[in-house]
Amino acid sequence: MTRRPLDVRALAWCAVQSARNGAPWVCAVFVAGSGLVVVAATREGALKDALRREAVRAQRARRLHPADAGAAEAAVALAGWCCDAWAATAGGEHGASCRYRLPKGNGA
């Protein structure tokens, strides 16, 4: 157990000493303080677990899903197109403004 500024063991020891020395109202204060420390530690543990779960969910959401793999493959194919005419004709022709268009000449 790690040491906290208000350790439960220290508060419990103070409560016992107060009860032994005839100060029941001080004992009650120390018992209530011990209860608050236990509740706070439990709550912090639950919050830490919730944050860990959310981090795992966010990490899983960032991964590439199979449905996104098709979209990624299409994006790679689109990036390889030099012009829309080339894509529409399956690589048969290039558009007028395409840099890969060869001028049509009479020579063979």
The model's pLDDT over 67-99, given as tens digits with 9 standing for 90+, comes to 677 777 777 776 667 777 777 777 677 777 777
Q: Which residues contact 94 (CB under 8 A, 6 or more apart)?
A: 82, 83, 85, 86, 100, 101, 102
The model's pLDDT over 4-52, given as tens digits with 9 standing for 90+, comes to 555 778 888 888 898 899 888 988 998 898 888 889 989 999 999 999 9
